[in-house]
Amino acid sequence: MKKYLIIYHFLFWLLAYIFWIFVFRNSTLVLTHAITIQFCYLIFIAANYYFNTLYAIPYLLNKKYYVKFGIIFTLAITVTALIRIPVSMLVTIYVFKITNTHFDYLSIFYNSFINILFWVVLILAGKMIAEKIRSEIYIEKIEKEKATTELNFLRAQFNPHFLFNSINSIYGHIDKSNKPAREMLLKFSEMLRYQLYECNVEKTDLDRELNYIKNYIDLQKSRIDERIRVSFREDNINGNLKIAPLLLITFIENAFKYVSIHEGMDNYIDIYLKSTEGYLFFKIENTKDTAIMQANIIQAEKSSGLGIANAKRRLELLYSNKYDLKINEYEESYEVILTLFDI
């Protein structure tokens, strides 16, 4: 992206340079003089453009420091117009070889100030209008994606009454002496209830999401290989925090799916969750088996699950610039670190 961005900027200034040479060329000047003069203007206009786009607009204008922005903007134009006075003199004497001429400093400054100001304002206005249009297109795209996601979610739901009645019937047929099976079914029922009735909101209580995660881990522990060690640690959890439902579970499911089962080795899944006021830190690490990962990746491509890609998309939609996600793949392990800010 950076490479294409540099090429785009280079082509823009090249076209602007050619445009200025042939459209605003003074009939009294030869082409080589016009090329030199417009190149000098190009340098000053580009300097002001990048100064404003990289500093003045994001740090002053966008933060509503209007007076300070106006002063800094005008000062930058003034400085470049003043610098153009000696540049114009040096070009005239040493490039054009004209020595017997009178320099009107005030006229050079005035013309430079007006020309630089006009083109900087015009280019910046064009850039801001283009960004506004892109932003509106992006927002419209997000709204369509959210509507599609909600529709797909509704289509994917089971009939809740039928589902829970079936679970109750199964629970009644399990022998009372088989306590582990009855407890597993109750946890499964609680997980389904959470998914069907409490996940149709943008944010849910962290306590409820945490209870869902614990139930999921307990169910997985009952079915996975005994050679896999699973640990879950929580630190200073603030249950009043709100979080997007079923966000963390995607990474936990991934860990159980790809964890290794090597003989005589420490196969593990470590999950850690910590929260403070307005801040949530989540880390999960698991040993990996390359053969299992390759087989499951092929299978995952055929399925319609959320997956890591959709989890990233949800983070972008719901948390924008208020999150930090790091996914690290090492030789023998896989690690995900997610931090949510201002939640």
Contact of 103 with 130, CB cutoff 8 Å: no
Contacts of residue 291, Cβ cutoff 8 Å, sequence gap at least 6? none
CA 136, chain centre distance (Å): 17
| DSSP for 198-246, written as a single string | TSSSS-EEHHHHHHHHHHHHHHHHTTS-TTEEEEEEEES--TT-EE-TT
Higher pLDDT, residue 1 or 169: 169
> How high is the pLDDT of residue 222?
81
> How high is the pLDDT of residue 25?
60
pLDDT higher than 70, residue 59: yes
- pLDDT band at residue 34 using 50, 70 and 90 as cut-offs: low
pLDDT higher than 80, residue 302: no
Per DSSP (E only), the strands in 54-173 are none
For the record, the structure tokens of 306 come out as 């959320």
Strands 279-287, 267-276: parallel, antiparallel or unpaired by DSSP?
antiparallel
Q: How far is residue 195's CA from residue 197's CA, in Å, rounded to a whole number?
A: 6
> How high is the pLDDT of residue 298?
44
Contact of 228 with 269, CB cutoff 8 Å: yes
Prediction pTM value: 0.53
Contacts of residue 241, Cβ cutoff 8 Å, sequence gap at least 6? 205, 206, 275, 278, 280, 343
With CA atoms as reference, report the closest residue to 284 among 242, 238, 231. 231
pLDDT per residue as tens digits for the range 259-274:
988 887 889 999 999 9
Contact of 207 with 247, CB cutoff 8 Å: no
- pLDDT band at residue 117 using 50, 70 and 90 as cut-offs: very high
Q: For the chain, what are the domain ranges? A: 2-153, 226-341
Q: How far is residue 263's CA from residue 30's CA, in Å, rounded to a whole number?
A: 83
Q: How far is residue 12's CA from residue 6's CA, in Å, rounded to a whole number?
A: 10
CA distances for 52 relative to 13, 64, 67, 69, 113, angstroms: 16, 14, 15, 9, 16
pLDDT higher than 60, residue 206: yes
> How high is the pLDDT of residue 133?
92
> How high is the pLDDT of residue 282?
96
**CA atoms 141, 142, 145, 146: torsion sign:** negative
Please give the mean pLDDT across all residues of the chain.
83
pLDDT higher than 90, residue 114: yes
CATH architecture classification, 226-341: 2-Layer Sandwich (3.30)
Q: How far is residue 297's CA from residue 258's CA, in Å, rounded to a whole number?
A: 9
Residues of the chain with pLDDT > 70: what percent? Answer: 86
